[in-house]
Amino acid sequence: MKLRIKYEKTGVLRFIGHLDVMRLFQKAIRRAKLDVAYSKGFSPHQIISFAAPMPLGMTSEGEYFDGDFESVTSTEDMINRFNATLPDGVKVHDIVILDEGAKPSMSVVTASDYYIYKNEECENDYLNKLIASIDTFSLEPKIEILKKTKTKEEISDIKPAIYKLEARPEGIYMLLASGSALNLKPELVIEALCKFSGVEYNRYDYMVHRLETYMGEKDNLKSLIEAGKRF
């Protein structure tokens, strides 16, 4: 049975890398005595796969992984068993059985939305300036940034990958393209907004929190959890 598990990763666990999160869940599944399926062969491993890897430093309440299970109880029971053994900062929110033919989470992601807020350790109040300039920034026909890769630098227009950009009382909301077809990191939007507002960009002035991961077309986005049903 293929399950999809939605979880949050917050607090100090933002400093745990993607591979370590996978290891954390592999151990949690064993502690919780959940009946996960193992691969065949000499050193069997749990059949689980994660959606988008999360960059170090980001928190999220919309992360996903898929797993094959030999048997299941109920959504509620499995959530409780996970959460009884997970450390502070990681919490399972929902579990569904994937519909017949559902594709792996990794391959269906098309968008994510984020909430950007001030890092309490930083002293300046640039964020308010950024919030104030969102409306005019959004009117720009093109938002060009210098993208650096290992081999080259190129100017790229990120505007097509910004689906929504809105001011919120204490921060900024943004819905961005995500996944293999088109992908935009929220940091690049903040950087562009800083440049536009004439504010010095410093990554650690801001905290980035992912709210949800989506699949589907731009104008018909659905949460990844909608690919299955509770049980």
Judged by the rule CB under 8 A, the positions of this chain that interact with other proteins are 11-13, 15-17, 20, 23-24, 26-31, 33, 38, 42-44, 56-57, 85, 87-89, 119, 121, 203-204
> Using an 8 Å Cβ cutoff, are 37 and 70 in contact?
yes
Closer of 27 and 147 to other proteins (Cβ): 27
Closer of 53 and 160 to other proteins (Cβ): 53
Question: Please, what is the minimum distance in Å from the beta carbon of residue 32 to other proteins?
Answer: 8
Which stretches does DSSP call E strand in 81-170? Answer: 90-98, 109-118, 144-148, 153-157, 162-168
- Report the C-alpha gap between 98 and 68 in whole angstroms: 10
Question: Please, what is the minimum distance in Å from the beta carbon of residue 119 to other proteins?
Answer: 6
Closer of 24 and 167 to other proteins (Cβ): 24
- Report the C-alpha gap between 137 and 107 in whole angstroms: 32
Distances (CA, A) of 56 to 17, 53, 143: 6, 9, 26
Distance of alpha carbon 43 from the chain centroid: 31
Closer of 45 and 229 to other proteins (Cβ): 45
Closer of 29 and 225 to other proteins (Cβ): 29
- Report the C-alpha gap between 29 and 182 in whole angstroms: 33
- Report the C-alpha gap between 110 and 107 in whole angstroms: 9
Question: Please, what is the minimum distance in Å from the beta carbon of residue 156 to other proteins?
Answer: 24
Question: Please, what is the minimum distance in Å from the beta carbon of residue 222 to other proteins?
Answer: 32
- Report the C-alpha gap between 53 and 43 in whole angstroms: 25
Question: Please, what is the minimum distance in Å from the beta carbon of residue 47 to other proteins?
Answer: 12
3-state SS, residue 36: strand
Question: Please, what is the minimum distance in Å from the beta carbon of residue 12 to other proteins?
Answer: 5
**Burial class of residue 84 (count of CB atoms within 10 Å of its CB; 0-12, 13-18, 19+):** exposed
Closer of 31 and 230 to other proteins (Cβ): 31
